[in-house]
Copies of this chain bind each other. A is one copy, B any other.
Amino acid sequence: MDRSTADRLHSLAIHLLRWARVADAATGMSAARLSVLSVLVFAGPRTVTELAAAEQVAVPTMTRLLQGLEADGHVRRRRTARDARVVQVTATAKGRRVLEAGRRARIDRIEAVLAPLDRRALREVEAAMGALESSLTRVVSQARE
């Protein structure tokens, strides 16, 4: 029935992430918490409001996610000296360790999909990703204006 390229790409992304997500169970953390932790590990310490924006979630939702993460020792919260209203959130060593292991497991599952591809197919995938990454970045930033 000749599905459109956009349709196929959409469905490929869904199935790829469903496949990767299986690895998350082993971390013992929920998707929401893993995602917050990954922002902290890759982008560095952030305030509660910044994290809520990054995760596209309301601020009280972020407060509660952080309470859980802190209780499990994955992040630390501290009021800043400059402005005692804001709370700086930092990933702990344990948090970084757990996140990194989980991310590795996810990437390993994606690798398993790439592994059977021959050199030519792999080059095509890399070329396609380059084009899509830059187009997506442009479209997203235009949408914000």
Contacts and interface: CB of A to CB of B under 8 A. Distances in A.
Contacts of A135: 113-114, 116-117
A138 B125 contact: no
- A contact face: mostly helix, strand, loop, or mixed: helix
A20 to B, nearest CB: 6
Nearest to A106: B10
A58 interface: no
A11 to B, nearest CB: 9
A84 interface: no
Interface stretch (A1-9, A43-51, A60-68, A91-99): A1-9
A16 B5 contact: no
A134 to B, nearest CB: 9
Chain A: interface size category: 35 or more
Nearest to A13: B13
A12 B122 contact: no
B129 A117 contact: no
Contacts of A32: none
A121 B124 CA distance: 10
The 8 closest A-B pairs by CB, nearest first: A128-B128, A6-B110, A121-B131, A13-B13, A125-B128, A6-B111, A124-B127, A124-B128
